[in-house]
């Protein structure tokens, strides 16, 4: 039985992990992975890519909005805690951000009700 979610952790740029010439120039890493799953007759699992390096905006495994993909970049104890505590079936950017903002770390902050 195939896994439903696949987690990819890296500390490098995604294109640096590929041997030169292993991808078609216009193919993203994600498209390459999808093709391999399809070739073997497997359904593509949801993939969460996490580049643990600081938030550098270099190469990415996905170049557009893609169903079944979540991407995280950078590392902090708050991100790790959110990742480990959250319901993984709800791995959406807004829910991840809200989970972090709802943490005890930010509990002393208040929303200003009046115009400044």
Confidence at residue 42, expressed as pLDDT on a 0 to 100 scale: 92
Q: Helices H, strands E: what count in the chain?
A: 3, 3
Q: What is the pTM of this model?
A: 0.64
Find the helix packing angle between 93-101 and 77-85, rounded to 10°: 110
User: Along the 116 residues of the chain, how does pLDDT read in single tens digits?
Assistant: 788 888 888 887 665 655 555 555 667 778 888 899 999 999 999 888 888 876 555 556 666 667 778 777 778 777 777 778 765 556 666 776 777 788 788 888 887 887 65
Burial of 30 (0-12, 13-18, 19+ CB in 10 A): buried
């Amino acid at each position: 039985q195939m896994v439903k979610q696949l987690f990819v952790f890296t500390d490098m740029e995604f294109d640096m992990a590929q041997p030169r010439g292993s991808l078609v120039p216009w193919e993203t890493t994600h498209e390459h992975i999808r093709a391999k799953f399809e070739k073997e007759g497997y359904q593509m699992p949801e993939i969460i890519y996490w580049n643990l390096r600081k938030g550098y905006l270099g190469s990415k495994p996905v170049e557009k909005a893609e169903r079944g993909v979540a991407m995280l970049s950078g590392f902090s104890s708050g991100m790790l805690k959110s990742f480990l505590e959250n319901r993984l079936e709800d791995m959406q950017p807004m829910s991840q951000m809200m989970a972090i903002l709802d943490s005890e770390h930010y509990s002393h902050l208040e929303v200003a009700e009046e115009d400044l």
